[in-house]
Amino acid sequence: MPIKTYREAINEALLQEMKKDENVVVIGEDVAGGAGTNGEQDAWGGVLGVTKGLLKHFGRERIIDTPITETAIMGMASGAALTGLRPVAELMFVDFMGVCFDQILNQTAKFRYMFGGKAVTPLTIRTMYGGGLRAASQHSQCLYPMFTHVPGIKVVLPSNPYDAKGLLIQSIRDNDPVIFMEHKNLYDTSGDVPDESYSIPFGEANFTREGKDLTFIAMGQTVEICNNVADTLKKEGKTCTVLDLRTLSPLDEDSILEAAEETGKIVIVDESYPRCNVATDISALICQKSFDSLKAGIKMVTPPHTPVPFSPPLEDLYLPSEEKVLNVAKEIL
Amino acid sequence: MSTNLVAITMPKWGLSMKEGSILKWIKSNGDNISKGDMILEIETEKVVNEMESPEDGKILKICANEGDTVPVGSIIAVCGKQDASNEEIDAFIEEFNSNFKSEINLEEGEEDLNEKIKVSDLEINFIKNINSNNENILFIHGFGGDLNNWMFNQNELSEKFNTYAIDLPGHGMSEKNIHSSTLDDLANLISSFCIATDINSVNLVGHSFGAGISIKTASLYPDLINSLTLISPIGLGKEIDSAYLENFINAESRRDLKKEIEKLYFNSDIITRDMLNEVLKSLRIDNVQSTLSKIQNEIIINGEQKNNLIDEINSAKVPVCVVWGKEDQIIPSNHHEVLNDRIKIIIEKDCGHMAHIEKPSVVNDAINSTIVG
Amino acid sequence: MQLNREELLKAYEGMCLIREFDDAVHYEFAADAMPGFVHLYVGEEASAMGICMNLNEKDTIASTHRGHGHCIAKGCDVNDMMKELYGKKDGICGGKGGSMHIADLSKGMLGANGIVGGGPPIVLGAALTYKTKKTNNVSVGFFGDGASNQGSISESMNMASVLKLPAIFVCEDNGYAESTAREYAVGGKILDRGKAFGLDSHEVDGDNFFEVYEAAKHVIDNARNGKGPALLHIKTSKVYGHFEGDAISYRTKEENERIKNDEDPLKIFKKKVIEAGLLELTQLENIENESKAKIKKAIQESKEAEFPNANDLLTDVYIKY
C-alpha cells in the first residue's frame, strides 16, 4: 500500500472530494497564498503547505484566499454551508478561535436546533493545534475540549495519515458542522494510505494495541506516545491496550468501556489543559458506568494548568512525553 | 547432532507476518503429539489461531512461554520421537539458535508482495509464490474476502506448488468499480488472468462464491483446469444466510461487523479487532459497497441462492474435492448430498464456513491429494 | 413612481401586518401571556418592506434580535411565527428558537439573531454561494447602529468588498443601542465606514417607504449584476423600547410623541399615496382591518396550540450522531 505523510493524506482528501463535488470550496488565510502579488501564486498552500497544489486544479474561485478576518471567514463558511455549498474553512491555528468563536458557538453549531431541524450545515473547519513547535502560548494550544463542550458540532482528531484522509473525507461529506483538528507535529509522520477515496465513520474509536495489563486512552498525537510506551512495556512482559478515540464528539463510549474493562487499569493521555478536559470527561464516564471493573485509580497524563511555555526546556517539561506516560503506567502496573 | 530431535518453530501465517505471540500452550512438556493436533494458540497482528503440530512425537521442551512474542521461524519447542537428555536438548537449542537468522527485519517496513495486472480492463491484485514446480494453484476467495484469507494455505502449499492468490474485483486491492459480476464474467476473468500470467493449466481452490467461480471456470474452460478443491461452495442448493451478505455490506462499525463475521466460524474466538479492521478498511472504500451489492445480486435472489451448478460440478472431467465445515451457518453442509460419488467429500466437524482458516491442515491435505491424486 | 397599484397594496399590506403583529405582541407580553425576551419593530416597517420588496424567494436575508418585521417582509407565515413566540410545537422553529431565532430557509430567511452583529458574516456565505454558482441572487444582512460598532460588521464589509460579493449591508439606525445613544457610541459616521471599505454607500430616510425602496432597488440591482456589495444607512426610529419591559426613561416624552406622530412610516405612506391619488382610503382601511383580523386569529390559534414534549428535547441537534 502507498506510504503517505499526514500532510499528503489531508491534501489528497481535499483534492479527491473537490474533484468529486463541485460544491466543495476551500476558504482561509493563505490557503493558496500570493494573492494580489506579482510573485508566485500558490506561494504557501497554507501556512504549513497542507493545501499546496490545489490552486492549479481549482483556481481562485474554489481555493479562496481571504484577508486575515477569522469572524468573517467562519461566518462566510457557515452561511455558504447553509445555502448550498460544502465549504472547508481553515482556521489557521485553533488558538485564533478567540476572535471568531461566536460564529462557531452561537451560529453554525446552533442553526439546526434553533431553526427546529430545518437547517443543514455541511461545514468543515480545518485547524491546527498542539505543542512541540516552540510556538508559545498563542500558537500551541489544544482547545478541543472547548469544542467538544458545544452541542451541534462534531470534533475530529485524526492520529495518523490513514485516519486523516478517511476522517477528512467523512467530515466533508457529513451534513453537520465538523471541526477537524490537525496536530502540527503529525504532518510529517507517514503511513499506509490507499489511493482510493474512503471514509471512516464518526464515533468509532480504534484499538491500536491490544493487551491484558493496562489500557491507554489517547487522542490525536498522544496515540503515538501511547503506542510507543505500549511497545516498550511489551518488551518488559506487560501488554497494553491502546484506544485511539478518533472523534471526541461523537464519543465512542462503548469502545471506551470495552477498553477499560479489558484491563481494569487505565491511563488517559490528553495534551489539553487539565481542567474540564477530555481525560476528566472520560474518567467520569468510566467511573459512572464501569466502576466495578477498575483495579486501580484512573491515571491521567496531561500538561499542568499553565499556558504553553515558549522556552524549549520548559515546553518539554510541559508536554506529555513517553517517559512521563511510562512512569505513570508503572505506578499502577 | 541428534536426528531424533526436531524444532517446532513460530509459523508464518500470511506473507506479511513478522512475529507471533504465544497465547496458550494446549500441550505441555512430555505430552505425545500427532501431526495435526492443536498444540498451542498463537496471536498475530491479524488473527488468533491454534497451531497444528507439524510432527509426530513428544514435546520434550517448551522454549517460548505464554505471553512471549517471537519472530517467525524461531524455535518455540523441541519435539522428539523418543526421550532425550537435558544436555542433548539444550545443545540442540543452542545449535538451532546459532544457525537461526531471522529473515525478517522487525524494524523495516514489510516487503510488499502484491502485484497488479490489467485483466479485462480491470486492475487485479494478486500474490504469487513460484518455485518452478509444474503444478499451479490459484486461490479464489469468497464474497467479502480477499487473498489474505489463504494465509494458512498459500505459504504451506508453496513448498510444493506454484501458488497464486487473487483479489476478486471489488475486493482487497483490486479495482473497486465493476459493471457486471455474473459467474460467467468472473470465470472469463479467471481465464484472462491465467493468460495474462502465462498459466497454461491450473488447479483451482475456491471458497464459497469463489468456489462457484471455480466450477464455472472449469465448465467454460475445461482445458485450463486440472483439478478443483472447493470449500463450502455456492450453487449446490437453495439455502443461504442472505441476511449475512446484506448486513456485511452495510456494517458501519466494528461491532456491527463482528456480529456478522462470527457467523463464519465455529469458534469465533479466532476473530481479532485487527481482522475486523482490515475488513472495514476495505468496506469503507468508495464503490466497494455498491460493487458488493451487485455481487450479492448474483448470489441471491428472493432470499435464496440464484445459481444452480449441480450439473456442472457433477459433470466436471477433472478431480474434484469438496470440503465443508459441518457447522457452516452460511451455506448448510448437507448441500454436498447432491454430489455424485466421483467427487471426494470431506465434512469437517467443529468447523464453520471458513474451513481453510479453521482447519487449514485438512484443507491443505485435501488440495494436495486432489492435485497429486 | 415605479410601483404599480398591486405593488403599493402589497407594500402597505406588509407594513400593516408587521405593525399589527408587533403591536399585538406588545400587549400580549405586557399581559404576561408570552415567555422570553421580545424586541419590537414598530416604527421601522418601511425599512423591512422597502428592502424585501426588491428580493425574490431565492434571495436571502439575515436579521437581528429585532427581527419580526424582516421575517414578515420576507414571507414567513405569521401564524407559525406567533406560535413560535409562544413556544409551541408547531411554531416556525418547533418552539426551539423563539422570537430571536425565527428562520425559514424555504423563504430565504436565514434567521433572526440573538447576537448583535451576528447576521452579516452569514450573509457573506450566502453571497459566496450565489457568486460561486452564478445564480444572480443577493443576500441582505440587517444590523443596527449598535452592531455597527462590532468587528463582525467591519470584517464582513471588508470581505464582501475584497471578494466582490452580492451582499447588501443594511444598517437600521434607530438612534439607540439598548439605552445608549448613537451620538455617544458611534465614532465618526456609519456611512463613512461603508465608503472606507469601498462599498457603494447611501444614507436613507427610513420613515419613507419610497426612499428605502428606491435606494434598495439601486444597490440590489447592481449586486445582481456583479457590481459588488453596498451599504444602506437607514435612519429610522422605534416606537417601543429596546425590549418589552423597557420603560424608555432615556427618551424624553417629546421624542416619544414625535416618533409616534411625525415619524410613523405607515402614516407617511398613506398620506403620500392618497394625495397622489394612487390608492383609495377605503382600500387602505380594508388592509388595516384584514391585518388586525389575521393577527387576532394567529394569537388565538397560538394560545390553543400544543407545547413540544420531552421527545422533542433531544431531536434536531445533529442530522446523524
Q: Is the pLDDT of residue B103 over 70?
A: no
pLDDT of residue C127: 98
B187 DSSP 8-state letter? H
Percent of chain A with pLDDT over 90: 99
B286–A3: do the CB atoms touch at under 8 Å? Answer: no
**Using CA atoms, how far apart are residues A280 and A273, in angstroms rounded to an integer?**
10
Chain A residues closer than 8 Å to C120 by CB = 75
Handedness of CA B120, B125, B130, B136 (dihedral sign): negative
The minimal CB distance from C110 to the residues A77, A79, A174 is found for A79
B254–A204: do the CB atoms touch at under 8 Å? Answer: yes
- The answer to the question of residue C306 being in a domain is yes
Domain total for chain C?
A: 1
pLDDT band of residue A42 (cuts 50, 70, 90) is very high
Supply φ then ψ for residue B39, to 5 degrees: -110, -25
B109–A196: do the CB atoms touch at under 8 Å? Answer: no
- CATH number for region B115-372: 3.40.50.1820
pLDDT of residue B1: 47
Residues C138-167, mean pLDDT to the nearest whole number:
98
Residues B214-220, mean pLDDT to the nearest whole number:
97
Q: Is the pLDDT of residue A271 over 80?
A: yes
- The answer to the question of residue C318 being in a domain is no
B285 DSSP 8-state letter? B
The amino acid that residue B269 corresponds to is D
- Give chain B's contact residues with A (Cβ, < 8 Å): 67, 69, 109, 112, 173, 176, 252-255, 272-273, 277, 281, 284-286
Using only C-alpha atoms, what is the Rg of chain C? 19
Residue B7: left if φ>0, alpha if ψ -120 to 50, beta else—which one?
A: beta
Q: Is A165 on the interface with C (CB under 8 A)?
A: no
Supply φ then ψ for residue B162, to 5 degrees: -80, 130
- The answer to the question of residue C205 being in a domain is yes
Q: Do chains C and B touch (3 or more CB pairs under 8 A)?
A: no
Q: Is A236 on the interface with C (CB under 8 A)?
A: no
The amino acid that residue C301 corresponds to is E
Residues 6+ apart with CB under 8 A from C119: C62, C63, C64, C110, C111, C113, C141, C142, C143
Torsion, Cα of C2, C7, C13, C18 (10° steps): -60
Partnered with residue B137 across adjacent β-strands are B163, B203
Q: Which tens digit of pLDDT belongs to each residue from C55-66?
A: 999 999 999 999
Q: Is the pLDDT of residue B132 over 80?
A: no
A57 part of the active site: no
The amino acid that residue B83 corresponds to is D
pLDDT of residue B67: 82
Helix (H) or strand (E) holding B138: strand B136-140
Q: How far does A40 lie from chain B, in Å, by closest CA?
A: 36
Residues A14-36, mean pLDDT to the nearest whole number:
97
Grid cell, residue B18, equals 513478522
Chain C residues closer than 8 Å to A79 by CB = 62, 110, 121-129, 139
Range of the domain at C251: 5-313
Check: CB of residue A89 under 8 Å from CB of residue A77.
Answer: yes
Task: Say if residue A250 is preceded by a cis peptide, omega within 30 of 0.
Answer: yes
| Angle, CA C175 vertex, CA C172 and CA C181 arms, to 5° | 140
Check: CB of residue C51 under 8 Å from CB of residue C212.
Answer: yes
Check: CB of residue A177 under 8 Å from CB of residue A125.
Answer: yes
Preferred mutation among B114, B174, B285, B288 to probe A, highest tally of A CBs within 10 A = B285
Residue A143: left if φ>0, alpha if ψ -120 to 50, beta else—which one?
A: left
Interface of A with C in 269-308 (CB under 8 A): none
**Using CA atoms, how far apart are residues C153 and C172, in angstroms rounded to an integer?**
13
Q: How far does B286 lie from chain A, in Å, by closest CA?
A: 5
- The answer to the question of residue C252 being in a domain is yes
- The answer to the question of residue C319 being in a domain is no
3-state SS of chain A is CCEEEHHHHHHHHHHHHHHHCCCCCEEECCCCCCCCCCCCCCCCCCCCCCCCCHHHHHHHHHEEECCCCHHHHHHHHHHHHHCCCCCEEEEEEHHHHHHCHHHHHHHHCCHHHHCCCCCCCCCEEEEEECCCCCCCCCCCCCCHHHHHCCCCCEEECCCCHHHHHHHHHHHHHCCCCEEEEEEHHHCCCEEECCCCCECCCCCCCEEEECCCCEEEEECCCHHHHHHHHHHHHHHCCCCEEEEECCEEECCCHHHHHHHHHHHCCEEEECCCCCCCCHHHHHHHHHHHHHHHHCCCCCEEECCCCCCCCCCHHHHHHHCCCHHHHHHHHHHHC
- The answer to the question of residue C320 being in a domain is no
Distance in Å from the first CA to the final CA of chain C? 55
Chain A residues closer than 8 Å to B273 by CB = 207, 210
Q: Is A85 on the interface with C (CB under 8 A)?
A: yes
B366 DSSP 8-state letter? H
Grid cell, residue A157, equals 482528531
Residues 6+ apart with CB under 8 A from B365: none
Chain C residues closer than 8 Å to A85 by CB = 125, 128-129, 132-133
Partnered with residue B124 across adjacent β-strands are B117
Q: How far does C268 lie from chain A, in Å, by closest CA?
A: 35
Grid cell, residue A181, equals 483538528
Grid cell, residue C112, equals 433572526
A198–B285: do the CB atoms touch at under 8 Å? Answer: yes
Chain B residues closer than 8 Å to A163 by CB = none
Preferred mutation among C122, C164, C165, C314 to probe A, highest tally of A CBs within 10 A = C122
C163–A64: do the CB atoms touch at under 8 Å? Answer: yes
* SS3 state at B198: coil
Name the residue with cell 454561494.
Answer: C129
Chain B residues closer than 8 Å to A201 by CB = 252-253, 284
Residues B231-235, mean pLDDT to the nearest whole number:
98
Chain C residues closer than 8 Å to A107 by CB = 113, 115, 118, 121-122
- CATH number for region B5-99: 2.40.50.100
Distance in Å from the first CA to the final CA of chain A? 37
Chain B residue with minimum CA distance to A1: B112
Q: Is A151 on the interface with C (CB under 8 A)?
A: yes
The ranges assigned to domains in chain B are 5-99, 115-372
* SS3 state at B218: helix
Q: How far does B318 lie from chain A, in Å, by closest CA?
A: 38
Residues B219-241, mean pLDDT to the nearest whole number:
97
The minimal CB distance from A198 to the residues B253, B273, B284 is found for B284
* SS3 state at B1: coil
Q: How far does C62 lie from chain A, in Å, by closest CA?
A: 10
- The answer to the question of residue C321 being in a domain is no
pLDDT band of residue B105 (cuts 50, 70, 90) is low
Q: How far does B155 lie from chain A, in Å, by closest CA?
A: 21
| Angle, CA B158 vertex, CA B153 and CA B163 arms, to 5° | 85
How many Cβ atoms are within 10 Å of B188's Cβ, its own excluded?
17
Q: Which tens digit of pLDDT belongs to each residue from B46-84?
A: 778 888 888 888 999 998 888 888 888 889 999 988 888
- Of C116, C15, C23, the residue nearest C62 (C-alpha): C116
* Cα separations in angstroms, C311 against B84, B262, C182: 75, 36, 45
More confident residue, B373 or A65: A65
Distance in Å from the first CA to the final CA of chain B? 36
Chain A residue with minimum CA distance to B113: A1
Half-sphere exposure at residue C98, Cβ-oriented, CA atoms within 13 angstroms: 9
Partnered with residue C230 across adjacent β-strands are C168, C200
Q: Is the pLDDT of residue B45 over 90?
A: no
pLDDT of residue A71: 98
Q: Which tens digit of pLDDT belongs to each residue from C92-148?
A: 999 999 999 999 999 999 999 999 999 999 999 999 999 999 999 999 999 999 999
pLDDT of residue A282: 98
Chain A residues closer than 8 Å to C139 by CB = 79, 83
B284–A239: do the CB atoms touch at under 8 Å? Answer: no
- All structural domains of chain A, each given as residue ranges with its CATH number in brackets, are 3-192 (3.40.50.970), 206-332 (3.40.50.920)
Mutual angle of helices C5-30 and C265-275, in 10-degree steps:
150
Chain B residues closer than 8 Å to A194 by CB = 281, 285
* SS3 state at B81: coil
Check: CB of residue B204 under 8 Å from CB of residue B140.
Answer: yes
Q: How far does A210 lie from chain B, in Å, by closest CA?
A: 9
Q: Is A83 on the interface with C (CB under 8 A)?
A: yes
Chains with ≥3 Cβ pairs under 8 A against A?
Answer: B, C
What is the ipTM metric for this complex? 0.95
* Cα separations in angstroms, B216 against B120, B316, B338: 17, 10, 17
Name the residue with cell 436546533.
Answer: A113
- The answer to the question of residue C239 being in a domain is yes
Residues B193-220, mean pLDDT to the nearest whole number:
97
The minimal CB distance from A196 to the residues B112, B253, B285 is found for B285
B285–A197: do the CB atoms touch at under 8 Å? Answer: yes
Q: Which tens digit of pLDDT belongs to each residue from A149-174?
A: 999 999 999 999 999 999 999 999 99
Chain C residues closer than 8 Å to A116 by CB = 91-97, 316
- Of C270, C255, C92, C90, the residue nearest C176 (C-alpha): C255
Name the residue with cell 400544543.
Answer: C306
**Using CA atoms, how far apart are residues A69 and A35, in angstroms rounded to an integer?**
15
For residue C224, give the CATH number of its domain.
Answer: 3.40.50.970
3-state SS of chain C is CCCCHHHHHHHHHHHHHHHHHHHHHHHHHHCCCCCCCCCCCCCCHHHHHHHHCCCCCCCEEECCCCCHHHHHHCCCCHHHHHHHHCCCCCCCCCCCCCHHHCCEHHHCECCCCCCCCCHHHHHHHHHHHHHHHCCCCCEEEEEECCHHHCHHHHHHHHHHHHHCCCEEEEEEECCEECCEEHHHHCCCCHHHHHHHCCCEEEEEECCCHHHHHHHHHHHHHHHHCCCCCEEEEEECCCCCCCCCCCCCCCCCHHHHHHHHHHCCHHHHHHHHHHHCCCCCHHHHHHHHHHHHHHHHHHHHHHHHCCCCCHHHHCCCCCCCC
Helix (H) or strand (E) holding B207: strand B202-207
Name the residue with cell 517460548.
Answer: B64
Q: How far does B315 lie from chain A, in Å, by closest CA?
A: 42
B286–A198: do the CB atoms touch at under 8 Å? Answer: yes
C124–A76: do the CB atoms touch at under 8 Å? Answer: yes
A64–C115: do the CB atoms touch at under 8 Å? Answer: no
pLDDT band of residue C33 (cuts 50, 70, 90) is confident
Handedness of CA A309, A124, B291, B296 (dihedral sign): positive
The amino acid that residue C48 corresponds to is A
C121–A82: do the CB atoms touch at under 8 Å? Answer: no
Residues A211-233, mean pLDDT to the nearest whole number:
97
| Angle, CA A132 vertex, CA A126 and CA A135 arms, to 5° | 75
pLDDT of residue B301: 95
Residues B192-215, mean pLDDT to the nearest whole number:
97
Strand order in the sheet with C60-62: C60-62, C139-144, C167-173, C230-235, C200-205
Q: Is the pLDDT of residue A203 over 70?
A: yes
